A = this chain, B = another copy of it.
Amino acid sequence: MEQQMENRQVIFKGFIDRAPRETDMELKVGSIGGGLKAPPGSGAFLVKNLCLSCDPYMRGRMRDSRASYIPPFVPGQPIEGSGVSKVIDSDDPDFKPGDLVSGLTGWEEYSLVRKTDQLPNQLRKIEQHDVPLSYHLGLLVFGGPIQSHCTTSFVKFHGKFCETNRIQLNDAANFHGITNSLVYSQHKHLHGSTSLFMVPKNIFCAASGAVGQLVGQLAKLHGCYVVGSAGSRQKVDLLKSQLGFDDAFVYKEEPDLDAALKRYFPQGIDIYFDNVGGDMLDAALLNMCVGGRIAVCGMVSQHSQTDPQGIHNLFNLISKRIRMQGFLQSDYLHLFPLFFNQVLKYYKQGKITYVEDVAQGLEHAPAAFVGLFSGRNVGKQVIHVANP
């Protein structure tokens, strides 16, 4: 007779078209058969989940839409997301009991994982034992450095961008990569042939979450002047005192975001890393420099809205020849090993600080997830499920 084990799970109850609520999920005691063994011939392996990641993009999977870049959750089944897990039993020759892995898993105590259900490079064995396991959910994996990489990649590919826009890059700076010396000459065709040299240093980002904190720190490491916005005074203090941002402000305390940005960027914004959308994007458009760039990576303020807020200031794209481009981390998975090593090095050298908000226990997972959308988390939100 097959041995049944209890398996506590966070079940997705059904599709929604509004901001997520705790009641959209349900803690259930399910069961797992086979005596915690991976079924022979399945090619799968059974894991014990140790920590789970809460990410804003998961809201999109609660909508009944096939139009998205990622399929929706299945009602009645556990929520699916990134996690760090320990292999208990394996029918996959690449994974052995005791291995620690990060990849796509379920919001439950035990999951059966198949390599073939994962994106390339998403499922990885954890080899570093001098970094907290949960860091593999943010600092060192999926959405963390890769999304941040989009900005720096955006800066790095600046040369290409500039050529299109008739703004030419200093080639020497280009070949040295992203450094303090990254300068460009903006040929001012309108007013003759004078050249204006400037450092593309003024970076603005919404900095409260998992991605923003890394974007800002990487930009600082590349010599930029970085200002972040956040939802509370506590977070602003964190950005300035621990994460090294040049400045930061509480957007909820600003009656006029346009005026706020003019105060922090009297000469305009060179790069806006937009992971918020909405009013902040509209205000940033008013404050961009000529030739500025907007990396669009999140629009978290719009995740819950079926009729998203209108953006009114797009005319600035023309008058300022702005380039605005959308990024998805899944397009950059092949670059992951490079950035994993880079960010790990920065972290070990103390050049990068990483802030987490850890909810203890699977039973607190729904509240932790819902909190993302009201900005309750300070730093990357994770759920601690069990110790190895």
Contacts and interface: CB of A to CB of B under 8 A. Distances in A.
B165 A331 contact: yes
A299 B315 contact: yes
A64 B327 CA distance: 37
Interface stretch (A243-251, A302-310, A362-370): A302-310
Interface in A194-228: none
A314 B296 contact: yes
B331 A318 contact: no
Q: How large is the interface on A (under 10, 10 to 19, 20 to 34, 35 or more residues)?
A: 35 or more
Contacts of A308: 312-315
B328 A321 contact: yes
Interface in A108-128: 119-120
Interface stretch (A2-10, A93-101, A155-163): A155-163
A192 B334 CA distance: 10
Contacts of A323: 323-326
Contacts of A332: 166, 189
A338 interface: no
B321 A325 contact: yes
A321 B312 contact: no
Contacts of A311: 310-312, 314
Given A312-B307, A318-B299, A324-B325, A331 B119 contact: no
Contacts of A324: 317, 323-325
A166 B69 CA distance: 17
A333 interface: yes
B321 A189 contact: no
Number of this chain's copies in the assembly equals: 2
Contacts of A172: none
Contacts of A69: 190, 319
A103 interface: no
B153 A319 contact: no
Contact of A321 (B164, B166, B331): B331
Contacts of A139: none
A104 to B, nearest CB: 13
A299 B320 CA distance: 14
A299 B327 contact: no
A192 B325 contact: no
Contact of A325 (B189, B296, B322): B322
Nearest to A313: B308
Interface string A126-161: 000000000000000000000000000110010011
17 contacts: A119-B190, A120-B190, A153-B164, A160-B160, A160-B163, A165-B331, A189-B332, A190-B330, A302-B315, A308-B312, A308-B313, A310-B310, A311-B312, A317-B325, A318-B328, A323-B325, A324-B325
